[in-house]
Amino acid sequence: MKENILREKICEFGKSMFDRGLTHGSTGNISALNDDGDLLVTPTGFSFGRLIPEDIVKVTCSGKIIGKNKPTKELFLHQAFYETDNKQTGAVFHLHSTHSVAYSMLPGLDEDNVFPALTPYSIMLLGKVKLLPFFVPGDPALGKEIRGIAGKRSAVLLANHGPVVAGKNLESAANAIEELENTAKLALILSGQKPRLLNNKNVNDVINKFKIEWD
């Protein structure tokens, strides 16, 4: 996608998420790769609700930062996904969405597969979601943690912080992170209710039909 269009799209997705309460204040960040392989990323300290294309920062393949603003302090988090996914990632979203953050604080979660099998759609759009431990925002060690996954997961949930989701493009990444937030909401609503989960056969049928990576 051409850079000027990509800048506009990042702002459009950001505004949509802000307007629907998926982010607040100046939280969250979005990135995407342009046709030249350079990274376009939202700036630090800016609200998704008021972004304009000129605010978006470019980080070239050589690491040069171009733009009037500083990139998000969690740039390394995005770069870790692009560097370990075998060129499958074209966009990354990170939000502090309420239900996802709340769910990440619950005790007894399965760190390797944090969500119960509630719907086929979370499996289809997210695969297994890994719960990562808490890191101070901006800590480069989080990038090392992402690289340690070695491209095996496209979605992670940062404890007491929020979700990070990678996708082939902005639309697929946006759809996936919204599905993650909705799954967290369902899990919270059903907490303690002993819901009827998808059984192992149900899960395997979804995995096989839609060719989902599941390890």
121-177 pLDDT tens trace: 999 999 999 999 999 999 999 999 999 998 899 999 999 999 999 999 999 999 999
* Per-residue pLDDT at 42: 98
Amino acid sitting at position 77: L
**pTM here?**
0.97
Pairwise CA distance, residues 141 & 159, whole Å: 14
Where in the sequence numbering do the catalytic residues fall?
A: 74, 121
pLDDT exceeds 90 at position 39: yes
Residue 72 included in any domain: yes
Contacts of 93 (CB under 8 A, 6+ apart): 13, 28, 29, 30, 163, 164, 165, 167, 173, 174, 176, 177
Helix residue spans in the chain (DSSP H): 3-19, 75-84, 98-104, 120-126, 141-149, 170-189, 200-210
Q: Does residue 44 come out as left (phi exceeding 0), alpha (psi in the -120 to 50 range) or beta?
A: beta
Pairwise CA distance, residues 79 & 139, whole Å: 14
User: What range does the domain containing 131 cover?
Assistant: 3-210
* Per-residue pLDDT at 150: 80
Specify the number of domains making up the chain: 1
Question: Tell me, what CATH number does 29's domain have?
Answer: 3.40.225.10
Residue 7 included in any domain: yes
Residue 215 included in any domain: no
The predicted-structure confidence for 48-107, as pLDDT tens digits, reads as follows 999 999 999 999 999 999 999 999 999 999 999 999 986 789 999 999 999 999 999 999
